[in-house]
């Protein structure tokens, strides 16, 4: 999808007073994004580990930011930092009928 500037300004409202805010909005609205919702046990913590540190230079190899990013201002991926933040962000990016929940056939084996 292509995120509108209005959506991005709502999403990053907590950063609106930071000097890099206009650059962030410009970068994020410069092309398509892939928006998704993950669910599962410990998904926020696990997702943040997979993403790597906000500053790609501090990210471990094998993380998304560690392998694919070179600058903190263009770190190519966002992940919610808490379940509350995730719920707020999900409601900004998706309508209820756009979300699907399912139980994997492996669920009972894993949990």
CA angle 27, 33, 39 (to 5 degrees): 125
* 99 CB-side CA count, 13 A: 13
Copy the structure tokens of residue 85: 């933040």
> In whole angstroms, what is the distance from residue 105 CA to residue 9 CA?
39
Q: Which residues are catalytic?
A: 78
């Amino acid at each position: 999808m292509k995120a509108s500037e209005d959506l991005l300004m709502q999403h990053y409202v907590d950063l609106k007073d930071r000097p890099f805010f206009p650059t962030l909005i410009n970068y994020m609205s410069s092309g398509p994004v892939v928006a998704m919702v993950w669910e599962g046990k410990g998904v926020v913590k696990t997702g943040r580990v997979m993403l790597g540190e906000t500053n790609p230079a501090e990210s471990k190899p094998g993380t998304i930011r560690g392998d694919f990013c070179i600058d903190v201002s263009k770190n190519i991926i966002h992940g919610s930092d808490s379940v509350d933040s995730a719920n707020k962000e999900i409601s900004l990016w998706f309508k209820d009928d756009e979300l699907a929940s399912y139980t994997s056939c492996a669920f009972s084996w894993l949990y």
